Amino acid sequence: MQLDFYKRPFLHVCIPFIIGLFLVFTTSSVVSPLILLGVVLIGAIFFLRQVTTNFGVFQYATVYFLGFVLGCFVGSLYEEFNPKFQHSGYAKGDLVQLEITEINQGSGDWNKAIGRVHTIFTQKGSVNSKNHVLLYINKDASYIQKGDILLVGAEFTPIENKNNPGEFNAEYYWNSRGIDVTAFATKDENSWIDEQKPSLFDQFLNGFSSYLQSALHENLSGNDLAIAQALILGDKSLLDTETKNAFTNTGAMHILAVSGMHVGLIMYLFITVFGFFPRFITKKQATWVVVIFLWIYALITGFSASVVRAVLMFTFVALSQVSAKQYDSLNSLFLSAFILLVLNPLYLMDIGFQLSYLAMVGIFLFYQKIEGLLHFRHARLRELWQGTALGFAAQLMTTGISLYYFHQFPNYFVLTNLGLMFFSAIVMGLGFLLFVVKWIPVLSKFVGIILGFSVYLMYWIVQQIDGLPGAVAYGFSVPFWLVLFMMILFIYLILYAKKRKQLLVGYSLYFLSVLYIVYERNAALTKSELCVFNHNQLVIALKHKNQIHCFYKSKPEQVAKIHLLMESYSKLYPGVIHYHPITKKAIQFRFGDQDFQLNDAGETVNMKWNQQRFDILYKQESSQNMAIYMPWIQDGSGVLLKNGALLLSAKL
């Protein structure tokens, strides 16, 4: 593999740039000295560069160092001009004027919205702000729409994780979008002030988006509509939990997240259509039309990092074709990453951004090597193998990071991708055809029926694979350093290891890494522990090997949340879940060598596990045993669940 600087300059610039950004967002205290050191060394390097003729080791070191300093500088500059809302001077009781930029209808009593803050009215005056906040609006205020300007009197609190095992990392997710506070606002805590009138360009985009959505809504319904809207337009608001889980468990969630695959399909469809009319549009003109449409499509689908990456790359391809200059895909990939991270450094912390770019790196680095392992004379078999090799190449670079974030692995991902790649192309093509023929009732109805049937078959395949034994493996807990190590090891083994000794060392390290992951997963499978969750209801899980018994004292409307809590726990510590509502004053339970007792005394629950005794307190009061305070109790001696779940391991 050629890594010459002049052939792939942005690969060499972007890698240290990313490292610099990462350090800013994780250990910002070292940034200022590094930037100062960088300024001094840049002057020395500039002088030495004048007498250096060849691009050698010193020049590479210079490029990497400058890239690192640039990453630190861009990251620190972003943090300086985008301070967190918590540092804006806001205090409880202040009023916040904001504009609703996103709003989604929820299934419960609250609608989730994103607001861009304009002004904070404090006791000392007003403070201007540009922060974004997460706002849950009670459905009593259903009149609120995107673009409305509100005066909110609800209390904004920091978004914090509950630190329950396996639970969704809400703090990381929202911080990656530049949001660090949230509030629940009832109808009385919202005052409608005005509405922000969209610009002519926004009106065009909103109208175009409404036209596309109406075409789907008029011809599809239910789950078919939800899947088609997610796949074609990137809007997953209609998807229910069951559908999301089915796609996630089979390794097909990327099908529903508009990404490079969708952009590639759109590009292929339009280029193919324009190819039938060479007299009316030249290849060069068709290329520019597709570029313009792809950027409009990126805007409509929310300008996600994966879509922008794909559109940027195609734009670079178009420019190289028009200018007849050489195009390097890997260099263009890192150039697009560099541009996106300069415009919005927080993209680096976005999981979708990470998975998208790692998948493309895997394809560019490994695809040809994997595809060349098998040769088929039959065209269909060759195409089938090429699609499989493409999936393997992407999976090699994304498996580690997926295990790190989601603790699960879809065992039949190859089988899923083989079936869904075909249907996703059909659904995308039929979807765009439906948009074109929307105004012809008979034709649009016919296309809608075929589209609905295709979506149904696609989801049927997902359901069948999800129902296979061992469709998904849970219980993976991979440290971040091992993720990075295995990525580097993949690249070394496939691209650089040639000699027998190199291969032996590389595969030995790889085997040890896999052995470590398997060992940790086996420990999670056979683990015995007791967990008292940080929750607004009393929830206790008793795990022994592959069995999990959940004891809970809850209101009926909270039971669904408890089930979700336990499902998240079982992804990290797998087992069959059994639910036991606390309906009796005294419970005595024993299985394996675990002895568990509960005595509900009203405002206090006395718990005994093996030889350990605890008092779970609902109010601040003295306790002779080890006190466990529920999350809403702020102080007291003992264990405060507000800081996270209490985990106790059994001695086996």
Residue 3 CB neighbours (<10 A): 11
Reply yes or no on whether the pLDDT at 33 is more than 50. Answer: yes
- Residues 230, 256: contact at Cβ < 8 Å? yes
Q: What is the pLDDT of residues 283-309, one digit of tens each?
A: 778 888 888 888 888 887 777 777 787
Written as six digits, the tokens of 571 are 């992804």
Region 527-548: mean pLDDT is: 90
Tell me what percent of the residues of the chain surpass a pLDDT of 70. Answer: 92
Region 373-395: mean pLDDT is: 80
Q: What is the pLDDT of residue 52?
A: 46
124 versus 339: the higher-pLDDT residue is 339
Region 619-648: mean pLDDT is: 81
Q: What is the pLDDT of residues 231-252, one digit of tens each?
A: 888 788 788 888 888 888 888 8
304 versus 140: the higher-pLDDT residue is 140
The owner of tokens 């295995």 is: 486
- The Cα 465–Cα 228 span in angstroms is 20
- The Cα 445–Cα 560 span in angstroms is 38
Q: How far apart are the first and last CA of the chain?
A: 51
Residue 40: band (very low, low, confident or very high) from pLDDT cuts 50, 70, 90: low
Helix 480-491 to helix 351-371 angle (10° resolution) is 30
Q: What is the pLDDT of residues 567-605, one digit of tens each?
A: 999 999 999 999 999 888 888 888 777 788 998 887 788
Q: What is the pLDDT of residues 266-275, one digit of tens each?
A: 777 777 777 7
- Give the residues across from 619 on adjacent strands: none
Cα within 13 Å of Cα(282), Cβ side: 3
Q: What is the pLDDT of residues 309-341, one digit of tens each?
A: 778 877 877 777 666 666 778 888 888 889 989
Reply yes or no on whether the pLDDT at 67 is more than 50. Answer: yes
Highest mean pLDDT among 38-47, 248-257, 382-391, 460-469: 460-469
Between strands 148-152 and 95-104, the pairing is antiparallel
Residue 623: burial class (beta carbons within 10 Å; 0-12, 13-18, 19+): middle
Reply yes or no on whether the pLDDT at 182 is more than 90. Answer: yes
Region 11-39: mean pLDDT is: 73
Q: What is the pLDDT of residues 328-381, one digit of tens each?
A: 788 888 888 899 899 999 999 988 888 888 888 888 888 888 888 888 888 777
Q: pTM to 2 decimals?
A: 0.84
Three-state SS for 197-258 is: CCCHHHHHHHHHHHHHHHHHHHHCCHHHHHHHHHHHHCCCCCCCHHHHHHHHHCCCHHHHCC
User: How many residues make up the chain in this entry?
Assistant: 652
For residue 56, CA distances in Å to 17, 51, 59, 156, 273 come to 20, 13, 5, 54, 48
Reply yes or no on whether the pLDDT at 390 is more than 60. Answer: yes
325 torsion bin: left (phi>0), alpha (psi -120 to 50), beta (else):
beta
Cα within 13 Å of Cα(629), Cβ side: 16
State whether residue 159 is helix, strand or coil. coil
Residue 296 CB neighbours (<10 A): 14
* Range scoring the smallest mean pLDDT among 39-53, 122-136, 564-578: 39-53
Q: What is the pLDDT of residue 56?
A: 64
385 versus 343: the higher-pLDDT residue is 343
- The Cα 147–Cα 150 span in angstroms is 10
Q: What is the pLDDT of residue 652?
A: 45
For residue 244, CA distances in Å to 250, 252, 257, 307 come to 10, 10, 11, 20
Q: What is the pLDDT of residues 69-87, one digit of tens each?
A: 899 889 888 988 888 898 8
Q: What is the pLDDT of residue 225?
A: 92
Reply yes or no on whether the pLDDT at 202 is more than 80. Answer: no
480 versus 281: the higher-pLDDT residue is 480
